[in-house]
Amino acid sequence: MKVEVNGLTAFLHGNKNNPPIIFVHAFPHDRRMWEKQIEFLSKEFFVITYDVRGFGNSEIGDGQYTMEQYADDLISLVDALGINKPVACGLSMGGYILFRAMEKAQEKFSGVVFMDTRTEADDNAGKLKRAGAIKEINENGLTKFAEDFVKNCVWKKSIENGNEGYLKALEIAKSQNPTGVKGALLAMVSRTDTTGSLARLEIPACVICGEYDLLTPPETMRKIAEKIPDAEFHVIKEAGHLSNLEQPSAVNKIIYEFARKVFE
């Protein structure tokens, strides 16, 4: 079921009376990156996916986004849809959104899954890299940027083997609106550091990372898990930064078991 809420396009899957899980996608993708999770989890959970502002079918607007706006969008969406304390799952940029949403309103959620992400704000090198990405899109268009970016997000053998998830990620990334993608780069470069709030997280948390994630390596994500009281930590074998796309079965099992425990 498709719904429009405050400029966001959301999709509802499964029985609304089941325990809810809401997914927040990575950059530069949209809710389609969660198709394997929807297929598996919607049998027992009420699954909500949505396009972050500027992506997929959500409003593009002027492309002037902030991480604060993204977090407010998520919280407002949960309220508008009347979702009772879902488990929230976010990957990469989706994780950035969740870190800030947890600082603002963790009481609206039953649990949280952080996947292939980081809490630190961009350092100077990171800011220059994102500025360079905007310049590249302006000069050469989105397609080349998307191809290069996605290649850096997956395990090298996912590329060599023509992994289905890698090919799906390419398709999704290349289909985005350049204005939305550049707006997300601005939002990410200006985001706050959320490391200090991890110890204040009072809901169950699960941290997942691809074994060969070059952008947010396992050692980086292990430190996140260690700062969150009683957090789970899982490494996904033979996966890079897009672990849910590269190894959906392994990720599905972890999210399923975590959510079952949260809603017991």
What does the domain layout of the chain look like in residue ranges?
2-262
What's at 90, amino acid-wise? Answer: G
> Shortest CA distance to 218 belongs to which of 207, 229, 228?
207
Convert the pLDDT of each residue in 86-123 to its tens digit: 999 999 999 999 999 999 999 999 999 999 999 999 99
CA distances from 83 to 36, 80, 163, 232, 263 (A): 22, 8, 34, 24, 14
- pLDDT tens for 226-254 read 999 999 999 999 999 999 999 999 999 99
Instruction: Give residue-wise pLDDT tens across range 57-84.
Output: 999 999 999 999 999 999 999 999 999 9
Neighbouring-strand partners of residue 89? 23, 113
3-state secondary structure of 76: helix
Helices (H), 26-163: 35-41, 67-80, 93-105, 124-140, 142-151, 156-160
pLDDT in tens, 180-230: 999 999 999 999 999 999 999 999 999 999 999 999 999 999 999 999 999
The CATH fold assigned to 2-262 is Rossmann fold (3.40.50)
